[in-house]
Structure 1
């Protein structure tokens, strides 16, 4: 019965065509229009294009002279690096720890994954309260233990602290996502391999180094590629916390700056250009990451 399904193409078409139409309308068509818009002169959101820019590459040239775009690109690259080190790194450590306990493993899996299911808007408001200047949780704790006094409260959104304030919640939220992927990979490792290693005298750290990590190689490669490409699209949590590039236009990311240009400034064609750059960067960097973190056949 199963083999006959693939010999008859009709049932396959019934399921594939609607999905293709959906992707065409909501993915491919908007992407093509974005490319066209990036070369057009559009006065505002919802208005028709007034022809092609003069010169046609005007918006792409503007990218190199726009200081806010340079800031957004630099912050996004930093976020990408921190994502690899902290999100995937912490998720790996937590997954290895949970995989080695026998009681309460399901509890920890649920707790670590929980931040993913919470709305990013709600998390942004929560962390705004935590980092609040005069009544936030962190300043109140520092006051209680005597590290600071009422005259030396820390402004967590000033130029010296905004990056920590903006990126910490992003790191925290997505650790659980990679944690679940890595735990699933650990569950697919046969217990027989661990038993054979234990007979040969391999202890906890040696099991991790010589068995778990090599067999998790492909899973970790997937996590790293997802982390790298995902960092380019981060928008909701930083936007709720930092809004329009505070302080002093230093906290822009590529996603938040694209939104600002499109919906607040009304420079739709330039916003489309930034969107195209994000897509191109995602494709190029993911290809580079795939070559560096090449999956292995076992």
Structure 2
């Protein structure tokens, strides 16, 4: 029986198609994107009109672009929100559900449910919730005695209004990952700690969190890279970065440059920045939260 695993040749038939798929749909588009960033392309699907003069024109433009600075700032805020909001809340809920003896499957389904809903549908739903007139939140505030209505989409509240549904949508995703990690922790460790007199909080602190360290690290990396790419829900709620262009994210601003301005070469430059930031921040996270062997 073990001799089956000594013949490695059949593995080629499985690896080559996957490798070709990645070349065609991942590596080639990325390399093409780099080339496009140095060319003058003014329409999606149109040929380049030549090389930019100077060739680094789009990169200097990106440094000077105020909207790009707003998008980067908002994206960095989004990263912090996703780490604390999505991963943090998911960890809290996972620990709670892990200690529930009856009905844990029900809570897993409920917390995971937002992931299966279309982001477009969620965007429309939260637009109704945050409406200035007849919106659910303002109606509740009115019922509680508040006299003034809050414009949740003005320049002051727009960023918070956008980040609340994004955080809510992906909590369930990290919740499932963390619950799976909790299931791999032996109950004997908790029983031994309980016999030694450890409280529930001490068991969480000295057993659960250390043994979940690598899983939490993975969740944080996914949260950081996901925040750089988030697009659909914010775009539905705040198309074209309204109000006053203060809600731009790197993903929405890149999309705007392609389909609204038809500035393909500049959007390619933004895409390169997103990839570079994703690689750098992932490396930083992996350095700060080093995986441990137990």
Per the alignment, residue 206 of structure 1 pairs with 202
Whole-Å separation in 2 of the counterparts to 1:286 and 1:18: 28
Mapped pair 1:156 → 2:155: no
Contact 1:83/1:228, CA 8 A, preserved across alignment = yes
TM-score, structure 1 normalization: 0.97
1:37-76 superposed matches below 5 A: 37-76=36-75
TM-score, structure 2 normalization: 0.98
1:102-139 Cα distance to aligned partner (Å, 9 max, x none): 01100000100010111101100110010011111101
Per the alignment, residue 15 of structure 1 pairs with 14
Per the alignment, residue 266 of structure 2 pairs with 270
Whole-Å separation in 1 of the counterparts to 2:159 and 2:108: 29
Mapped pair 1:251 → 2:250: no
Per the alignment, residue 109 of structure 1 pairs with 108
Shift of 1:16: 1.1
Greater shift in the superposed pair: 131-140 or 271-280: 131-140
Shift of 1:7: 2.6
Greater shift in the superposed pair: 166-175 or 8-17: 8-17
Shift of 1:50: 1.4
Whole-Å separation in 2 of the counterparts to 1:262 and 1:211: 49
Q: Which one of the candidate residues 164, 167, 175 is aligned to 1:171?
A: 167
1:58-87 Cα distance to aligned partner (Å, 9 max, x none): 000111100000000000000001111111
Shift of 1:13: 1.2
1:178-213 Cα distance to aligned partner (Å, 9 max, x none): 111111111100011011001100111111011101
Shift of 1:4: 3.8
Whole-Å separation in 1 of the counterparts to 2:6 and 2:119: 45
Shift of 1:35: 0.4
Shift of 1:5: 4.2
Whole-Å separation in 2 of the counterparts to 1:207 and 1:120: 37
> Matched residue of 2:185: which SS?
coil
Per the alignment, residue 86 of structure 2 pairs with 87
Mapped pair 1:219 → 2:218: no
Structure 2 residue ranges without an equivalent (≥5):
none
Whole-Å separation in 1 of the counterparts to 2:3 and 2:230: 44
Shift of 1:10: 3.1
> Matched residue of 1:98: which SS?
helix
Q: What is the number of equivalent residue pairs in this alignment? A: 294
